[in-house]
Structure 1
Amino acid sequence: MKIDLLTREYPPHVYGGAGVHVEELSKVLAKRAEVTVRAFDRARKPDEVPQVSGGSLRVVGYDVPRELSQANMALQTFGVDLQMAGDADGDIVHAHTWYACLAGRLAAQLHEIPLVVTAHSLEPFRPWKRDQLGGGYNLSSWAERDAFTHADRVIAVSLGMKQDILTAYPAIDPAKISVVHNGITIADFTTPESDDPAWKVFERYHINRSLPTLLFVGRVTRQKGLPYLLRALHLVDKGIQVVLCAGAPDTEELGAEVRASFAKLKAERGNVIWIEEMLPRPELNALEHGCDAFVCPSIYEPLGIVNLEAMACGLPVVASATGGIPEVVVDGVTGYLVPIEQKHDGSGTPTHPDDFVHDMAAAINRLMADPQRAREMGEAGFRRARDEFSWERIADETMDVYRQVLR
């Protein structure tokens, strides 16, 4: 079987969970089939392509056409999609995120092959993307809707995401949606050796390893809920050190809003560190192993691969009870879920934001006040990530979807 995976992100250009998903999925699928990854951001050098022992993995990179270099981001995306669609040569094409939806839809028609799309998020539930794309949001929404409604199979990364798909696109037959969770490669998250240079991240950012430390990792985007966390941290025990690994703001306005909130928090509470750069994976791994708990305040999260990564490092997790997060974090076992009531207008905005903020702070304080219980939760989280979310298992389930579609 020959598979074309179409994606915006692929190493060395990965900035979110969808990119991690495609990277890991491609490596395990390549042991089972011939896989070609078609990705944005130029051709890859040989040393930038993951090596798969005994497998077949090819990576083709594409640039935005020069004629569209000054166009709206959505039109730039479509320029890359047209190139991908023309080059696709698999038995099946599998598109990830709206960025590759048009490529998948056109490739399926042009080459008369089945189309599979994976829902990592949905444009109707991310209205704040209009701040980033302007009128291009209408185009991204159209491309996603057209691909999803015409796909031979839709893969949802959680049961929560399946329900969101049916809400956003009620014309889709529920029988056409398969649930295949995101995964984790436990071997990639082992504790670094004591002399590993990755540990220098603590020294570089003046993080005190003797203090109980809470960690946040995520992009500065509305869906990640960082503004609510910054409010909640005013209510968290000041003896708890907080590290915010948060970069790549969606817009300058949001970046400025978060920067102002952080400055206020640092002045009034202190003991908080903001890392704005996107850390390389070894340093992020060291950071997760060197902290005591993880927090995920998202208001929209189809599954939450960041929580799986934290659990793979043995961290207990405090997370919003939204989307697919409750399918990963088990309340009272691997951490605590923070209840959240949300508007049903697509924004996910908490209907009672003050309650959400106070409940989040209370859950953090409760977890950090009992280090022994927190360690036990971290150990339970590690076992859950290892046993329930392995990429080998997910590759097998994905291959089953392909075989069903081809039949």
Structure 2
Amino acid sequence: MQILVLAWEFPPRIIGGISRHVAELYPEVVKLGHHIHLVTVEVTGEKGHEVVDGIEVYRVPVRDGGDFFEWVANMNSSMLDRASQLINDRTQPFDAIHAHDWLVGDAAIALSQNFRLPLLATIHATEYGRCNGIHSDSQNYVHHKEISLAKSAARVIVCTKYMQGEVERALGCSTDKTDIVNNGLSLERMQRSHSDDFDPEALHLKYAQPDEAIVYYVGRITYEKGIYILLNAVPKILAAMSDKVKFVIIGTGDAYSILLQRQAWDLGIHHKVTFTGFMSDRDLSMLQTIASCAVFPSLYEPFGIVALESFAAGVPVVVSDTGGLPEVVENGVTGIVTHVNDSDSLAAGILEVLQNPDRAEKLVKNAQKELRDRFSWQKLAIETEAVYTRVISESKLAKE
């Protein structure tokens, strides 16, 4: 099969989870014997056309816009021009178009209509879910772009059963039209980022005293990630652990980070919490080797790839029971699942890990087996291939 893919981010351009999803899924699809042509946004210093892990990558320039939405419109215009040129220049036609999220929807829909190619869309998250409803003109704009993409697509791929329900509720996309293909994790990427060339004791001292456990959160610093709930849980955890715990908050989000730091100060725990800002994969990998627990107290989470990354790193995981997280983390088996927006429940879950090292070790062992069995990209590529096969077959039948 010849598949034309549109995605607004691809390494080394990493903005959210789409970049790594695309970069790790498609090499496995290529290994199945298919051809992937990816149109994405240019990156300074990177070639306009190159082959990356078997993927034909085409990077397009995008004119700066007056605001983000104008920039997105310019990106779609550039993608449409480049992809149309690709289609017209080829002797072997494309079989389908695969669009990742609303940002590339306009170009994908136009290409599908102009060249009569079946369109698939992966909806990684919705504006309705991220914002707990639609409350502004800008949110409404994105929301209707998502509805348009879902309506135009022959099939819609989502990452969890939760997201299947969300695209039906928010976008009016029937479950009959959706396919669930989980996100995965590249163990090779995790191994590449790992380094044994460091002093664990010295690193531990950077964040905590030798007798203090380290609990970390990693991800975007935004309201929907529920970090304020973790901070509210900290006093309860410290009281139960004789103050022998430090907390490390990793990620970017300057404006909201300031509010969280103020919260930590007001709670009297600022000396127990470190906000690191951005952290490289290598530095995160080293921190994970000395950490006792990873916490993801999200209010909204379509999937939760960070939980898989902690699985791979061998760190026991505590999450909230929101979105797709309970589908990724099985309570009491591969991690601890707590009540969403409940600091008492979150504190109890973290203490269960910290106070029961044998239990924590068993959770890690089960999680790493789950990672190999359920979340390998090889398995998920086969599931994606099946969606392609169905869409292309149904398109051919419709044309006959």
Matched, 1:59 2:63: no
The alpha-carbon deviation at position 5 of structure 1 amounts to: 2.0
Q: Equivalent residue for 2:398?
A: none
Q: Distance in 2 between matches of 1:43 and 1:272?
A: 36
Deviates more, 1:39-48 or 1:101-110: 39-48
Contact 1:214/1:243 (<8 A) preserved: yes
Structure 1: gaps (5+ residues)? 341-352
> 1:200 and 1:95, CA in 2 relative to 1: closer, same or farther beyond 3 A?
farther
Contact 1:243/1:274 (<8 A) preserved: yes
Contact 2:13/2:43 (<8 A) preserved: no
Q: Deviations over 1:32-75 (max 9, x none)?
A: 322122223536625997842xxx31222233314x2xx22122
> 1:186 and 1:209, CA in 2 relative to 1: closer, same or farther beyond 3 A?
farther
Q: Distance in 2 between matches of 1:118 and 1:94?
A: 8
Counterpart of 1:247 in 2: which secondary structure? coil
> 1:216 and 1:114, CA in 2 relative to 1: closer, same or farther beyond 3 A?
same
Q: Deviations over 1:218-250 (max 9, x none)?
A: 10122211122222223222311211112135x
Q: Distance in 2 between matches of 1:256 and 1:378?
A: 33
Contact 2:5/2:38 (<8 A) preserved: yes
* Count of matched residue positions in the alignment of Structure 1 and Structure 2: 378
> 1:241 and 1:3, CA in 2 relative to 1: closer, same or farther beyond 3 A?
same
TM-score (norm 2): 0.86
Counterpart of 2:331 in 1: which secondary structure? coil
Structure 2: gaps (5+ residues)? 88-93, 394-400
The alpha-carbon deviation at position 194 of structure 1 amounts to: 2.6
> 1:92 and 1:248, CA in 2 relative to 1: closer, same or farther beyond 3 A?
farther
> 1:269 and 1:196, CA in 2 relative to 1: closer, same or farther beyond 3 A?
closer
> 1:257 and 1:129, CA in 2 relative to 1: closer, same or farther beyond 3 A?
farther
Q: Distance in 2 between matches of 1:143 and 1:204?
A: 49
> 1:14 and 1:258, CA in 2 relative to 1: closer, same or farther beyond 3 A?
same
Larger radius of gyration: 2
TM-score (norm 1): 0.85
Of the candidates 253, 261, 266, which is equivalent to residue 259 of structure 1? 261
Q: Deviations over 1:135-181 (max 9, x none)?
A: 433322221110011211000101111011111123x3322100000
Where do 1:141-152 residues align within 5 Å?
A: 141-152=143-154
The alpha-carbon deviation at position 208 of structure 1 amounts to: 4.9
Residue 167 of structure 2 aligns with an amino acid whose one-letter code is I
Identity, % of aligned positions? 27
Q: Distance in 1 between matches of 2:201 and 2:11?
A: 24
Q: Equivalent residue for 1:283?
A: 283
Deviates more, 1:281-290 or 1:72-81: 281-290
Where do 1:81-96 residues align within 5 Å?
A: 81-88=76-83, 89=87, 90-96=94-100
Residue 371 of structure 1 aligns with an amino acid whose one-letter code is P
Q: Equivalent residue for 1:346?
A: none
